[in-house]
Structure 1
């Protein structure tokens, strides 16, 4: 037994030595290392909407290499990249980040194109540098408003809204909506008024920004002393200007007829006639054309009278006007309508005037169904005591108007005595006749009796100048085909001078 145990132990030791030797041999064997291969990547980064290159975009990789920026042409280049899969991440402020996966091959340079889309939360700056500059004064009533975008380029496709509102008013006027324009014209503004305006900008991503609220003040209302009607392209409207036609203001612009303007004696309101309601009615408006208001409900019409038969009272508080065979007085606000007189049977009232001098008088024209069938009457201011002043003479008789002192009446009459049912005149002159009937002067003929009026024309629609030493009137070719003209001359017929072309029913105060 001891021998057998010893033999077993010897075999165990031998085996143990063999295993140890094998382990030592294994530990001494050399490890093998795989070689590393490299490639490269080039790329271009562009804007998704414009396809323009994007500079200064950040490029990173995974596995990590380094961080790169695109150049001015939107390009980048990465070298010595281990072969295999590579994730390229491109990012830029205001753009959505993009990740592109590629395979890098040994000894080759891969080329990639990356497109970035603007972020939906892209920042946007409010416009600035307004024109006119904020708090500017003396601006026209048709003014161009402009502004500058901030930190923007044409490729940003910005859109603008512009609102305008008047001081002491909450009503906003939209001048632009969703427009690419960076300027807009605000028209029809009031004189001597402060306006405020603001611009809202938005980008295609929906971000918006609002400018400061800017302001400007329009210039003072021109002190235009002349009013007249003018027909342009078949539309008759009312204008004001100075004596040279400068400072021209178009006061009405409706498609209906607005005519026969008269400035009130205290120069605060303009009365005029309009057929906007279907019949000629009397209206008033401010001197800049605003606050237009109808003041009559009984029409201002009669035989050959399309709204022209009315006149202010000398104090500007009332008006008188003809309504067929009736003469009315009405307050300037349309209240207090009062019947003053009724015309003789078969006749209508037409043009009229009112003086406060010498106790006060009215002079009123009456007409029959034919325009040349006309007479002039003098009335008390309350419409009583009619006295025939100028009887029915051959030819048309029109437009009676008191002198400044109320001692004489100016009117026109066709000295050719042409009785035309259509109302045509051949040789109308202006006459001045004293109210006591003692003298009648042909102003057109002048002191010498030799007129400088052009043959074949009519002097009509005459009124005295504010100083009483001149008259303003219309001269028109007697075929009524050429445009009428407004002229002035001295009360003795001298110094005839044309003021305005294509103008009629003048008023001078």
Structure 2
């Protein structure tokens, strides 16, 4: 019995000794090293406090964002990286005996207490400034209570004529130089400032206008995508867009005494007459209840009274007069045979109105003049086949020019094969062709007198019906004077 007791005691001591040896092995130590950087930019962060739970040592990162803690008892820990202005971050770490563990912290800037930038103040140019050069310096001011915030600005610039928007982003300065601006154009601008933390801050919207386009005497329409757009141009060929590319606007006619341009613009399923200033501003809708209407709007024309007070225009078989302010709409003529009035012109002295009427296909043309009360004065042409277009009275009412397809060709697409320029003399009653050196296979269309009537201006295009249209000028009686003025342009007006 005693021997059994001694043996049992011996075994128990061995067991306890072995357990004690295993427990001492758990008291080993390891180390941890790491790096702290700024989120997104990965910029090293200095003086970040590194601590743990359970407690070990407390250290701070160096200039490179690095830290190291040695002699940490093995076990599971939660290490914290903390720095003012940043959101503290925790990492779970298991420290292993005689092993170095590596961790990386990416700290996010704390938005708590961070104030957004001030509302930007646009300082130059002044709001609604006019006559600005085509190079403009935009300047603004902005402040931020948090000095460490890095501010960036975005400038949004919109062309009020074309509606084109240009954005200048990631600007660190508070100035921006704009170049190659357009004459006679209103620009609208706004500045948006961000500190990268708070929501962006928007300035008020401001505008300025560039200086006027110099000595622009020509007007015409050009196609931009699916719409016609009105342009003005000078003798040197410089061009300025006046109407928005988002609107279908055509047939511009300038009136010198009123300082306005009248034109046709599509309005839903109808077409109406509008006016605007020479620079495209001051848009006003003249017609409302009775639109302008004709068989083909490529050839439809209206006319100003010389003093700018009234406009005459066709609506199928009726001719209307309306005041330029939209009042006083009155029918002054109706064709006796139901033919459509496509074109009209009003003489300089206001005593004569020229009309071109045709059937619903544009043919069976009659060209004649009436007085403002609707009485017929003179018959110019009738009873011939083919297309006629482009009527324009001379200043003294003694002549009228027009274009006629001498082939008499008629078709559903209104294609013309050999359209030439003619002049009718009301004194002699004679109608004669004006030779303008037209090349074979081309049409001359939509003719007008120049302001001094020494030249004719008109549209030239191949008779294939698909080629580009060009605005030409010819000095009457002068050989080799047929010159090209503008390409891809129609419906010219020269004042």
TM-score, normalization by structure 1: 0.71
Residues 1:162 and 1:323: Cα distance change in structure 2 (over 3 Å): same
**2:42 equivalent to 1:52:** yes
Counterpart Cα distance in 1 of 2:186 and 2:249 = 26
User: Are the aligned partners of 1:42 and 1:78 in contact in 2 as well (CA < 8 Å)?
Assistant: yes
Determine which of 185, 191, 194 is the counterpart of 1:201: 194
Determine which of 132, 136, 148 is the counterpart of 1:138: 132
Residues 1:287 and 1:160: Cα distance change in structure 2 (over 3 Å): same
Query: What is the deviation of 1:428?
Result: 2.0
Q: What is the number of equivalent residue pairs in this alignment?
A: 450
1:424-435 superposed matches below 5 A: 424-435=415-426
Query: What is the deviation of 1:319?
Result: 0.7
Alignment-derived partner of residue 457 in structure 1:
442
Counterpart Cα distance in 1 of 2:476 and 2:242 = 30
User: Are the aligned partners of 2:125 and 2:139 in contact in 1 as well (CA < 8 Å)?
Assistant: no
Determine which of 318, 323, 331 is the counterpart of 2:315: 323
Residues 1:140 and 1:382: Cα distance change in structure 2 (over 3 Å): farther
CA offset digits 1:197-220 (Å, max 9, x no partner): 23242535x365567x69663312
1:336-415 superposed matches below 5 A: 336-357=328-349, 360-415=351-406
Counterpart Cα distance in 2 of 1:100 and 1:425 = 84
Counterpart Cα distance in 2 of 1:427 and 1:466 = 27
Query: What is the deviation of 1:246?
Result: 2.0
Alignment-derived partner of residue 16 in structure 2:
none
Counterpart Cα distance in 2 of 1:239 and 1:415 = 32
Determine which of 91, 112, 116 is the counterpart of 2:82: 91
CA offset digits 1:351-388 (Å, max 9, x no partner): 1111133x721111222345342222222233334332
Residues 1:118 and 1:457: Cα distance change in structure 2 (over 3 Å): same
Larger Cα-atom Rg: 1
Alignment-derived partner of residue 477 in structure 1:
462
Counterpart of 2:468 in 1: which secondary structure?
Answer: coil
Counterpart Cα distance in 1 of 2:291 and 2:305 = 19
Query: What is the deviation of 1:475?
Result: 1.2
Residues 1:175 and 1:108: Cα distance change in structure 2 (over 3 Å): same
CA offset digits 1:11-51 (Å, max 9, x no partner): xxxxxxxxxxxxxxxxxxxxxxxxxx99876432233x438
1:55-204 superposed matches below 5 A: 55-59=45-49, 68-72=60-64, 74-77=65-68, 90-97=81-88, 113-121=104-112, 123=114, 126=117, 138=132, 191=184, 193=186, 195=188, 197-201=190-194, 203-204=196-197
User: Are the aligned partners of 1:281 and 1:299 in contact in 2 as well (CA < 8 Å)?
Assistant: yes
Alignment-derived partner of residue 239 in structure 1:
231
User: Are the aligned partners of 1:269 and 1:286 in contact in 2 as well (CA < 8 Å)?
Assistant: yes
Counterpart Cα distance in 1 of 2:337 and 2:466 = 35
Q: Which moved more, 1:486-495 or 1:190-199?
A: 190-199
User: Are the aligned partners of 2:470 and 2:490 in contact in 1 as well (CA < 8 Å)?
Assistant: yes
Alignment-derived partner of residue 8 in structure 1:
none
Alignment-derived partner of residue 246 in structure 2:
254
Counterpart Cα distance in 1 of 2:418 and 2:159 = 52
Counterpart Cα distance in 1 of 2:386 and 2:91 = 98
Alignment-derived partner of residue 20 in structure 1:
none
RMSD of Structure 2 on Structure 1 (CA): 4.9
Residues 1:114 and 1:476: Cα distance change in structure 2 (over 3 Å): closer
**2:210 equivalent to 1:219:** yes
Counterpart of 1:248 in 2: which secondary structure?
Answer: strand
Determine which of 487, 493, 499 is the counterpart of 2:485: 499
User: Are the aligned partners of 1:161 and 1:175 in contact in 2 as well (CA < 8 Å)?
Assistant: no
Counterpart of 2:239 in 1: which secondary structure?
Answer: coil
User: Are the aligned partners of 2:133 and 2:211 in contact in 1 as well (CA < 8 Å)?
Assistant: no
Query: What is the deviation of 1:497?
Result: 0.6
Counterpart Cα distance in 2 of 1:384 and 1:368 = 21
Q: Which moved more, 1:119-128 or 1:321-330?
A: 119-128
Counterpart Cα distance in 1 of 2:59 and 2:356 = 98
Counterpart of 1:229 in 2: which secondary structure?
Answer: strand
Counterpart of 1:302 in 2: which secondary structure?
Answer: coil
Query: What is the deviation of 1:174?
Result: 13
Structure 1: gaps of 5 or more residues: 1-36, 168-172, 446-450
